[in-house]
Amino acid sequence: MSNQPMPLRVDDKTEAVLDAFQTHGYATTGYLVEQTGLTRPTLGKRLDRLYTAGCIDYVHEPTAFWILKNDPRDTEDTD
């Protein structure tokens, strides 16, 4: 079994989350809800997918602080 991150399909909602990370490279869950207009449950699903794909890290639990490790849009095929 491989230890490689899962591939990630970037839809419009995930795109909005990634766009919100672009300003600073980090954000709290509350900030992301505010910036994206997504509900907390929907945002949580997108954050889970980004985390599983190795794109973000959960840095500080009490503040729900996330950091962007790599933007999957930077590695998508352009063919």
Specify the CATH number for the domain of residue 26. Answer: 1.10.10.10
Q: Is residue 2 part of a domain?
A: no
Of 50, 45, 61, nearest to 19 (Cα)?
50
Tell me the C-alpha to C-alpha distance, in Å, between residue 33 and each of 75, 77, 78. 25, 29, 30
Q: Is residue 63 part of a domain?
A: yes
Question: Is the separation of the CB atoms in 30 and 64 below 8 Å?
Answer: yes
Full-model pTM = 0.82
Q: Is residue 41 part of a domain?
A: yes
Q: How many domains does the structure of the chain reveal?
A: 1
Query: How far apart (Å, rounded) are the C-alpha atoms in residues 58 and 51?
Result: 8
pLDDT digits (tens, 9 = 90+) for 28-73: 999 999 999 999 999 999 999 999 999 999 999 888 999 999 999 8
pLDDT reported for residue 3: 54
Cα angle: 43, vertex 45, 47; to 5 degrees: 70
- The whole domain housing 37 covers 12-71
